[in-house]
Amino acid sequence: MDKILLMLQLQSSLNEATNGEEWTKGVTKNNKIINWKRCVYMECAEMIDSFSWKHWKNIDKEADWANLQIEVVDVWHFIMSLAIQNYANAYKGGVDELALDISALSNFNKIDTKNELFSTQDIIIETIESIMFDVLNRDNLELEKLISEFFDLVVMSGLDLDTLYKLYVGKNILNQFRQDNGYKDGSYIKVWAGEEDNVVMKRVLDKGSDISPSELYKELTKLYISLNKS
């Protein structure tokens, strides 16, 4: 429950800083329409590209399991945002109420157990596509079903609540770092000395298991300057 609430609070704060105080109304401070559902299914499509799913190309290539986990965390950003917006617009409550409801889902117990095992490629892709169907469905959003299926995906991707939280906090700080360094105007450099910033961030996390969010931000700043501004 605590980690779910903390992630929801961080996501809400990031969305407010990026899009303005009234982002839950579906419009940014610059009057740009926000479509969290589209964010989810587009990230899901990127997630599928972690696998050599094309029957005509790279058929023996090993899946990029590390990238899969990063993409799972990216999707979680958007599912949480969609859920927070849904609760606000339906007057169901704020992040506290949402955290309680998420923790009460039967599938929550699955992620609240240590896990490092991956499912097969085909089963993972089927689950990803089911999540895509949930947000592409033009009928009313079945939020509980969407979150429950996402938790299935978390387990299939070799993650659990602790590792999801750790990667989420890392990506949240990276997203803040991107916004602070020109992501919106296109001046931000996403590839650092041949590696995408996601990869660099994950390596910093893996080196320091107890690194704080502020320490991670400082380390990213140091690496960004040394790799891209020299």
Q: Which DSSP string corresponds to 78-147? A: HHHHHHHHHHHHTT---HHHHHHHHHTSTTHHHHTS----B--HHHHHHHHHHHHHHHH--S---HHHHH
Structure tokens at 55: 């029957």
| 225 belongs to a structural domain | no
Cα atoms in the Cβ-side hemisphere of radius 13 Å centred on 145? 11
d(CA 153, CA 16): 27
Unique residue bearing structure tokens 């990063």: 70
The pTM (predicted TM-score) of the whole model is 0.86
Q: Tell me which residue of 144, 170, 166 sits closest to 92, measured CA to CA.
A: 144
Q: Give pLDDT, residue 159.
A: 95
Q: How far is C-alpha 140 from the chain's CA centre?
A: 23
Q: Give pLDDT, residue 229.
A: 61
| 139 belongs to a structural domain | yes
| 207 belongs to a structural domain | no
Q: Is 3 helix (H, G, I), strand (E, B) or coil?
A: helix
Parallel, antiparallel, or unpaired: how do β-strands 195-196 and 191-192 relate? antiparallel
d(CA 131, CA 34): 19
Which domain, by its residues, includes 148? 2-167
Q: Give pLDDT, residue 208.
A: 66
Alpha-carbon dihedral sign for residues 138, 142, 146, 147: positive
Q: Give pLDDT, residue 4.
A: 94
Kindly give, in sequence order, each residue whose CB lies less than 8 Å from that of residue 39, ignoring residues fewer than 6 positions away.
78, 81
Structure tokens at 2: 């605590």
Q: Looking at residue 55, which CATH number applies to its domain?
A: 1.10.4010.10
| 21 belongs to a structural domain | yes
| 53 belongs to a structural domain | yes
How many domains does the structure of the chain reveal? 1
Kindly give, in sequence order, each residue whose CB lies less than 8 Å from that of residue 45, ignoring residues fewer than 6 positions away.
132
| 227 belongs to a structural domain | no
What single DSSP character describes residue 63? P
| 84 belongs to a structural domain | yes
In single-letter form, the type of residue at position 134 comes to D
Q: Tell me which residue of 225, 212, 207, 201 sits closest to 69, measured CA to CA.
A: 201
What single DSSP character describes residue 51? S
| 108 belongs to a structural domain | yes
Q: What is the mean pLDDT of each run of 10 residues along the chain (230 residues)?
A: 89 91 93 95 95 88 90 96 95 95 92 89 96 90 95 96 91 89 89 88 80 87 80
Q: Give pLDDT, residue 158.
A: 95
